[in-house]
Structure formats: C-alpha cells, structure tokens
C-alpha cells in the first residue's frame, strides 16, 4: 500500500494549497521569533515552573517529544545547526524533512497536483515508534534552557 500518492487538482484548489502553505510557514517563523513564554506565564503563572511553554513539562516535569523545538527552530533558521541539535536532538532532521515536504507540496501545486496521504496500520505503528524515539532522545539529550 502506498503512503503518499499524487493526484491532479483544479487550479483554484492549487491556489488554496499555496495560501495554506504560506500561512503555515509564516506562522512557524513568527512563533520562533516571538517566543510565547511571557504570554503564557502572564495568564497561567501557577502552571509554569520552567521557562517553557510545554504544558507536559510544566505540569508533570517530563519533556514532550517536541520540547525545545521553538529554540531549535530559531537556531535552525539562523544556520546554527549544532545549537539546534543541542535544544532538540531530532530538530535538524525534523525541520529538513518538513522543509522538503513543504517544497514538494508547493512545486506540485504549481503544476496542479497535490500529495495525498493514506494511513495504514503499518504506517501508524512506524509513526508511533518514531515519536517514541523522539521522546526518549529528547528526555536524555535535549536541553530545555
């Protein structure tokens, strides 16, 4: 069974995909530049014991698989790859893969095609294993401050 397939779409739908992709990229960059810790701390001071917006880290004391990604993304877009890895060990792989997927979606939309994702039991199990690997490595090797 295929995980990704390419389908033909109308030009109007291709424009929608490009606009959604542009909004996603803009939101990602803005969230890395404007660190949201101060905003969350202002409204929920009793839950934030650490300098992190991660709810799991602040309530349970255990970092989630994506803790440190805001700092890592900021370092990644400034080409400080070692510092990006310092904040989250999988950050460079994750951001490179995400950039490749975004670029693929954009280029395909220029030619009125889109990527369709179909999930099978096997792909969900593999995704779960990768997520657990992210989590374990971030717990042992991630730096959140």
Helix (H, G, I), strand (E, B) or coil at 112: coil
Q: For the whole prediction, is pTM greater than 0.85? A: no
Distance CA 32, CA 23 (A): 14
DSSP-derived 3-state class of residue 46:
coil
Distance of CA 101 to the CA centre of its chain: 12
The structural domains of the chain, with segments of one domain joined by +, span 4-141
Q: How far is the CA of 140 from the CAs of 65, 83, 123, in angstroms?
A: 11, 16, 26
pLDDT tens, the chain, 145 aa long: 567 788 899 999 999 999 999 998 888 778 767 766 666 667 766 666 666 667 777 778 888 888 888 788 888 888 999 998 888 888 889 899 988 998 999 999 999 999 888 888 888 898 899 889 888 888 888 776 5
Question: If we measure between CA atoms, which residue out of 66, 87, 70 comes closest to residue 134?
Answer: 66
């Amino acid at each position: 069974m295929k995980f990704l397939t390419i389908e033909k779409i109308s030009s109007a739908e291709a424009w929608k995909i490009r606009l959604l992709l542009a909004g996603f990229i803009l939101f990602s960059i803005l969230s890395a530049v404007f660190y949201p810790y101060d905003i969350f701390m202002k409204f929920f001071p009793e839950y934030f014991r650490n300098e992190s917006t991660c709810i799991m880290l602040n309530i349970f004391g255990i970092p989630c698989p994506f803790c440190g990604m805001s700092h890592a993304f900021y370092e990644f877009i400034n080409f400080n790859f070692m510092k990006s890895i310092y904040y989250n060990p999988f950050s460079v792989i994750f951001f490179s893969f995400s950039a490749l997927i975004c670029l693929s979606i954009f280029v395909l939309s220029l030619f009125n095609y889109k990527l369709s994702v179909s999930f099978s039991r096997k792909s969900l199990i593999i995704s779960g294993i990768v997520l657990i690997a992210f989590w374990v490595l971030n717990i042992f090797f991630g730096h959140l401050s």
